Amino acid sequence: MICRNAMKSIMQSGYTTIDSLETQSPEEILRWTLDRFHPHVAIATSFQDAVLLHMASRIRPDVRIFSLDTGRLPEETYAFAEAVRLRLNLSIEWVFPKHEAVETLERAKGLYSFRESLEARKACCAIRKVEPLNRALTGLKAWVTGLRREDGETRAELKVVEVDEAHGGILKINPLAHWTSVAVEAYVRQHGLPVHRLTERGYPSIGCAPCTRAVEPGQPLRSGRWWWENPEHKECGLHGR
Ligand code: SF4
């Protein structure tokens, strides 16, 4: 993994370019990123929509893409992932949790321990998401996410380019930071991309099956995630919050 100081020096030497990315289109941001860092950059996708994957694969058909299979994803997410893989001719690097850790958790606490407390929920996310993400990022100089400011209060200050201090100071690129769900839907329609079936059933944000539910129109986009918790806790630890 590139060291924190080296990455900060890249940020400082290219300050004008990096700063200007805030106002660039997602395609321009992706091209800048892939030109500089491929193959030491990968797109992280949770397969909620195919916008970033479509844009990136048109720039670099061999773009690296990884996704975390927590073992608790909805069947609709697997179906959508497969539809996207076939449509865009992608190679997906699936990353699983360590089976020993899942076995220890479920033997000790059962299958729904995440409902018992915030600490128990974070312990499950740590095993099924955070540790696998750390492995997926090993050796990378940058990673790309589909995070958007519109997602909720925990992401309101999101920047297009961030130094990811939680992962050794590599760059974290968020090309869709300023996009809205309306813009995402328009792009999907324009390019005839597959649509996640749960999106059509009122799920604007989709994670693990037992921790996600549909929301009413007008409710915060991530209010269906861990709905039993307070809004300021609606992160799983993947994004350092
Ligand atoms: S979202 Fe729920 S099931 Fe998935 S890792 Fe977190 S607590 Fe566990």
| Domains defined for the chain, CATH in brackets | 4-233 (3.40.50.620)
Q: Ligand 1 pocket check: which of 67, 72, 130 to mutate, most ligand atoms within 8 Å of Cβ?
A: 72
Instruction: Give 49: exposed, middle or buried? Use CB within 10 Å, 0-12, 13-18, 19+.
Output: buried
State percent of the chain over pLDDT 70: 89
Is the pLDDT at 233 greater than 80? The verdict is: no
Q: Poorest-confidence range of 14-18, 102-106, 137-141?
A: 14-18
Ligand 1 geometric centre to CA of 23 (Å) = 34
pLDDT tens digits for 31-84?
A: 999 999 999 999 999 999 999 999 999 999 999 999 999 999 999 999 999 999
- Ligand 1 first shell, C-beta below 6 A: 70, 72, 114, 121, 124-125, 128-129, 207-208, 210-211, 236
Identify the residue whose tokens are 């995402």.
184
Q: Is 211 a catalytic residue?
A: no
**Is 1's pLDDT higher than 50?**
no
Atom of ligand 1 lying closest to residue 122 CA: 7
Q: What is the pTM of this model?
A: 0.90
Residue owning the nearest CA to atom 3 of ligand 1 = 208
- What mean pLDDT comes out for the span 199-222? 92
Q: pLDDT digit string (tens) for 148-173?
A: 998 877 788 899 999 999 999 999 99
CA 239 → CA 37, 112, 129, 137, 236, distances in Å?
Answer: 20, 23, 11, 12, 8
Protein residue whose Cα sits closest to atom 4 of ligand 1: 208
Q: What b/e sequence results for 182-215 when a residue is b if at least 16 CB atoms lie within 10 Å of its CB, and e otherwise?
A: eebeebbeeeebbebbbbeeebbbbbbeebbeeb
**Distance between CA atoms of 241 and 239, rounded to whole angstroms?**
6
- Position with higher pLDDT, 95 vs 4: 95
